[in-house]
Chains A and B, each alone.
Chain A
Amino acid sequence: MALPSYTETRYRIWHYIYIAICTFVFFFLIAPLFVIFPLSFNAEEFLVFSEGMKNLDPDAFSLRWYKDMIYGTKNPWGLAAKNSFIIAIFATIGSIILGTLAALGLSSRHMPYKGIIMATLISPMIVPLIISGVAIFFFMAKVGLAATHAGIVLAHIILGTPFVVITVTATLSGFDHSVTRAAASLGSNPVNTFMKVTLPLILPGVISGGLFAFVTSFDEVVVVLFLAGLENTTIPIQMWTGLREQLSPTILAVATCLIILSTLILISAELLRRRSERLRGINR
């Protein structure tokens, strides 16, 4: 963003103000995440930077909160992590299957009532979570699935499918339908065509939708708060209780792990997006 040499002074000043504003906003977005890292290595119990930490004294840092997270007595994180992963994985699989099928149907030009159906399928993403939570709780309580893993998985499928529908329809919008016709003319049946031709081409979209569904489930707390019993506690539930009652540095250790996880997911999502664009022949 180098300015041409003939720029007038006032635009030059304005340009630097603009850069300053942008720097501030980027800082505002990303900096809060980095407060968590150093504090999670705090040797003390308080959530403030101690004098020792400010002077970079090695004794002021320790791994005790990470040890507490893993080995702590009566600690809920092990069970919570197990539950979170089980629920998120099943919810992701469910969302991918239902969402991809629906996206295939919606992308067909023969689909009747496309607008209203699309709006319905996306609605769980738009309706405030608290309302979804109340409604899903009423349903699960009626069919006896409240406080079960199955109930939470179903609830997370509801919340996760919109993301899969959106990403897969976006991928299919650049899809060249003549390849499926070519496959059919060469004698392939529809299922075979889907598995061998369509699926490999839309796979990046499917996986990135799946990542969204996974993160949605893994991070979801409002609906789980209504549905979960003691056995179904998840990482977000434990963090929520921890943040409400007593902010302990163990939470920061967990939070650091979650940030690392989200960084990994971000990298895979970005790589997938680029691969998908390459496959669909979009050059930017």
Chain B
Amino acid sequence: MSSETKQILTTDGIPLEVSLKKAEKKNKIKAFLLVAPLLLFLIITYVFPIGEMFSRSIDDKMITNMLPKTFKEMEKWDGQELPPEEVFTAFYYDFKVLVEKQEHGKLGQRLNKEKNGFNSITKKLFRQVKRNKIDESISIKEQIMKVHKRWRDVEYWQAIKRTAPPYTMAKYLKGMDMYYAADGSITQVEEDRRIHRILWLRTLEIAFFVTLFCFLMGYPIAHLLATLPMKYSNLLMICVLLPFWTSLLVRTASWMILLQQQGVVNDFFVMIGLVADDNRPEMMYNKVGTYVAMTQILLPFMVLPLYSVMKTISPSLMRAGKSLGGTPFVAFWKVYFPLTIPGIGAGCLLVFILAIGYYITPALVGGASGTLISNQIAFHMKQTLDWSFASAMGLMLLSGVLVIYWIYNKLVGVDNIKLG
């Protein structure tokens, strides 16, 4: 039989199997060509630049290129005692080149990040070199050591040696409030200076609670929307969709007006006698503002997936549960709730992903205690211009988001995201 099937030929004499495979391949290429423009566009303008963020975050080539001779000589130095004459000489010639290019300041700043005190001693050395005070015919080591006592300190030379590799994880350690100690081991920053860890924890905390609030508020109204007759639910759906389509900044602005000290919410609290008129609570520029505004802004992203799942649950299931002797609560908990779990998963993951990277709203209503990790990234991009640190923090955040995205993709499937 098998030999017979193999001999089936198409009209042009090619075996059918080959011809089919060819057609299949052609279809594959056709489909791929349709996707190719967008895929290429995204890879060039988006995926590669994210990769570039990574190389930027670990890049430490600047100093490697500044002191090439020094690092070459340092390879032979064991790093225990003061380096030999050759290292000093190599360092001197490297430094002379930097002085000519007027880049010695950059070197001082970079080394100062490694160990405090480098800035002033490189400046001192610069003055000596500039005035040609260093005699190249006698021991350069002796002369450099005379410039400042720190040049006689082996710890400073160890610090230079540590900067030799062209790549460093220092930015990532800094993002977790850690650093390389003098002996190269990873050490924690003193307790009162651990600002980044507080920010990470706060970001997680706010994202978690915003997701929780969105769930607690979104579940009942999604249920109501799914069970009401169409003509009423369509009307109420507008209450969910209008905020969804409205500008984020408009919604944030309205919360700024509502939550200010003389604002409507405080007026209302005074009116019902909850707070005294002269003792209005500060509800903005702190965590409260961030929670309230973010919950309202992200609520539609919880309601829409829940609604689309609840819509598919037949009301007769609840009736069946009740008719079999369950109280309404039991019927809800044992029948209805388990069926909505896919929707809960989708909504919670979506809201959490969006909340963890939020920037605009916390920056406007969050004040100092309500800002998140995104605000820190923006701060380093725009204010301190430490782009490699911003990149490192961004990628740490991104890796967290991608893990959740991956879970979301496994559980829900990205092609099942519902919009509107």
Chain A residues whose CB sits within 8 angstroms of the CB of B377 once the complex forms: 130-131, 134
Q: A119-B409, A126-B405 are in contact. Are A102 and B240 (CB under 8 A)?
A: no
Closest Cβ–Cβ distance, residue A177 to chain B (whole Å):
12
A258 interface contact, C-beta 8 A: yes
Q: Which residue of B lies closest to A102 (CB)?
A: B38
B353 interface contact, C-beta 8 A: yes
Q: What's the interface size class on A, roughly? A: 35 or more
Give 5 A-B contacts (CB < 8 Å), ordered by A residue: A108-B30, A121-B39, A122-B414, A155-B45, A243-B364
A243 CA to B247 CA, complexed, in Å? 14
Closest Cβ–Cβ distance, residue B410 to chain A (whole Å):
10
Which of A24-32, A57-65, A178-186 has 4 or more CB atoms under 8 Å from chain B?
Answer: A24-32
A108 B31 Cβ-Cβ under 8 A: yes
Identify which of A98, A115, A138, A255 contacts B52 (C-beta below 8 A).
Answer: A138
Q: Which residues of B contact A (CB under 8 A)?
A: 24, 27-28, 30-39, 41-50, 52-53, 56, 217-218, 220-221, 224, 227-228, 230, 236, 238-243, 245-258, 260, 262-264, 267, 296, 299-300, 311, 328, 353, 356-360, 363-364, 374, 377-378, 381-382, 387, 390-391, 394-395, 397-398, 401, 405, 408-409, 414-415, 417-420
Chain A residues whose CB sits within 8 angstroms of the CB of B296 once the complex forms: 28-29, 32
Give 15 A-B pairs besides A258-B246, A269-B420 with Cβ atoms closer than 8 angstroms: A18-B224, A33-B242, A33-B254, A35-B257, A36-B257, A102-B37, A108-B27, A112-B32, A117-B39, A126-B401, A134-B391, A158-B42, A219-B249, A251-B253, A255-B250
Residue among B24, B39, B48, B246 having the largest count of chain A Cβ atoms under 10 Å: B246
A102 CA to B43 CA, complexed, in Å? 14
A270 B31 Cβ-Cβ under 8 A: no
A101 CA to B353 CA, complexed, in Å? 28
B42 A134 Cβ-Cβ under 8 A: no
B253 A120 Cβ-Cβ under 8 A: no
Closest Cβ–Cβ distance, residue A40 to chain B (whole Å):
10
Mark out the residues of chain A between 79 and 117 whose CB falls within 8 Å of any chain B CB in the assembled complex: 98-99, 101-102, 104-106, 108, 110-112, 115, 117
A275 interface contact, C-beta 8 A: no
A167 B353 Cβ-Cβ under 8 A: no
Residue among A118, A130, A247 having the largest count of chain B Cβ atoms under 10 Å: A130
Q: Which residue of A lies closest to B417 (CB)?
A: A166
A161 interface contact, C-beta 8 A: yes
The 5 closest A-B pairs by CB, nearest first: A128-B357, A105-B34, A105-B35, A108-B31, A135-B49
Q: Which residue of A lies closest to B238 (CB)?
A: A266
A255 CA to B256 CA, complexed, in Å? 13
Identify which of B49, B242, B417 contacts A136 (C-beta below 8 A).
Answer: B49
Identify which of A49, A102, A240 contacts B264 (C-beta below 8 A).
Answer: A49
Identify which of B238, B245, B397, B419 contacts A128 (C-beta below 8 A).
Answer: B397
A104 B34 Cβ-Cβ under 8 A: yes
Q: A35-B258, A135-B53 are in contact. Are A30 and B264 (CB under 8 A)?
A: no
B255 A111 Cβ-Cβ under 8 A: no
A48 B263 Cβ-Cβ under 8 A: yes
Chain B residues whose CB sits within 8 angstroms of the CB of A21 once the complex forms: 220
Q: A29-B239, A29-B299 are in contact. Are A135 and B41 (CB under 8 A)?
A: no
Q: Which residue of B lies closest to A254 (CB)?
A: B250
B247 A262 Cβ-Cβ under 8 A: yes
Chain B residues whose CB sits within 8 angstroms of the CB of A71 once the complex forms: none
A77 interface contact, C-beta 8 A: no
A203 interface contact, C-beta 8 A: no
Closest Cβ–Cβ distance, residue A65 to chain B (whole Å):
13
Mask, A117-160, CB within 8 Å of B = 1, is: 11111111011111110111111000000000000001101100
Chain B residues whose CB sits within 8 angstroms of the CB of A262 once the complex forms: 242, 245-247, 250
Chain A residues whose CB sits within 8 angstroms of the CB of B299 once the complex forms: 25, 28-29
A119 CA to B409 CA, complexed, in Å? 8
Chain B residues whose CB sits within 8 angstroms of the CB of A47 once the complex forms: 257, 260
A69 interface contact, C-beta 8 A: no
Q: A111-B31, A269-B245 are in contact. Are A98 and B37 (CB under 8 A)?
A: yes
A41 interface contact, C-beta 8 A: no
A233 interface contact, C-beta 8 A: no
A237 CA to B358 CA, complexed, in Å? 17
Identify which of B30, B48, B247, B414 contacts A236 (C-beta below 8 A).
Answer: B247
Q: Which residue of B lies closest to A101 (CB)?
A: B34
A212 interface contact, C-beta 8 A: yes
A128 B53 Cβ-Cβ under 8 A: no
A117 B35 Cβ-Cβ under 8 A: yes
Residue among A22, A25, A169, A221 having the largest count of chain B Cβ atoms under 10 Å: A25
Q: A134-B391, A158-B45 are in contact. Are A243 and B264 (CB under 8 A)?
A: no
Identify which of A110, A166, A247, A273 contacts B256 (C-beta below 8 A).
Answer: A247
B31 A110 Cβ-Cβ under 8 A: yes
Chain A residues whose CB sits within 8 angstroms of the CB of B359 once the complex forms: 128-130, 222
A119 B242 Cβ-Cβ under 8 A: no
A215 interface contact, C-beta 8 A: yes
Mask, A207-249, CB within 8 Å of B = 1, is: 0100010010011011001100000000010011001100100
Closest Cβ–Cβ distance, residue A117 to chain B (whole Å):
6
Mark out the residues of chain A between 261 and 282 whose CB falls within 8 Å of any chain B CB in the assembled complex: 262-263, 265-266, 269-270, 273
A259 B360 Cβ-Cβ under 8 A: no
A174 CA to B44 CA, complexed, in Å? 32
Chain A residues whose CB sits within 8 angstroms of the CB of B240 once the complex forms: 29
A121 B239 Cβ-Cβ under 8 A: no
A284 interface contact, C-beta 8 A: yes
Chain A residues whose CB sits within 8 angstroms of the CB of B239 once the complex forms: 26, 29-30
Q: A134-B390, A135-B49 are in contact. Are A33 and B251 (CB under 8 A)?
A: yes
